[in-house]
Amino acid sequence: MSLPIPETLSKEDRRSLARCHIHALICAQCGSTMLALRSDARYCSNACRQAAYRARHRQPIHFV
Ligand SMILES: [Zn+2]
């Protein structure tokens, strides 16, 4: 799960987020800032997750 947030977070904001176990992270696909409930979340959205998955599993097509 992720939530959209402004680019900048104050120290107080980060502290209150940490208290709620919410992490400010960078999406591994599009690089945008996001909030996630899991510290190991990597993508801001399902679209980014799928794009990363497709990029990882893309195979070259061979014609015989
Ligand atoms: Zn993203």
Q: What is the pLDDT of residues 14-58, one digit of tens each?
A: 889 888 889 999 999 999 999 999 889 999 999 999 999 999 888
Using the mean position of ligand 1's atoms as its centre, give its distance from the Cα of residue 46 in Å: 8
The single residue listed with the structure tokens 């794009």 is 51
Q: For residue 46, what is the enclosing H or E element?
A: helix 46-57
Q: What is the DSSP string of 10-43?
A: -HHHHHHHHHTT-EEEE-TTT--EEEESSTT---
Q: Is residue 62 part of a domain?
A: no
pTM: 0.64
Using the mean position of ligand 1's atoms as its centre, give its distance from the Cα of residue 62 in Å: 31
Domain range for 51 is 2-57
- For the chain, the domain total comes to 1
Closest CA to 45 of 56, 55, 35: 35
Q: Is residue 8 part of a domain?
A: yes
Using the mean position of ligand 1's atoms as its centre, give its distance from the Cα of residue 25 in Å: 10
Q: Is residue 64 part of a domain?
A: no
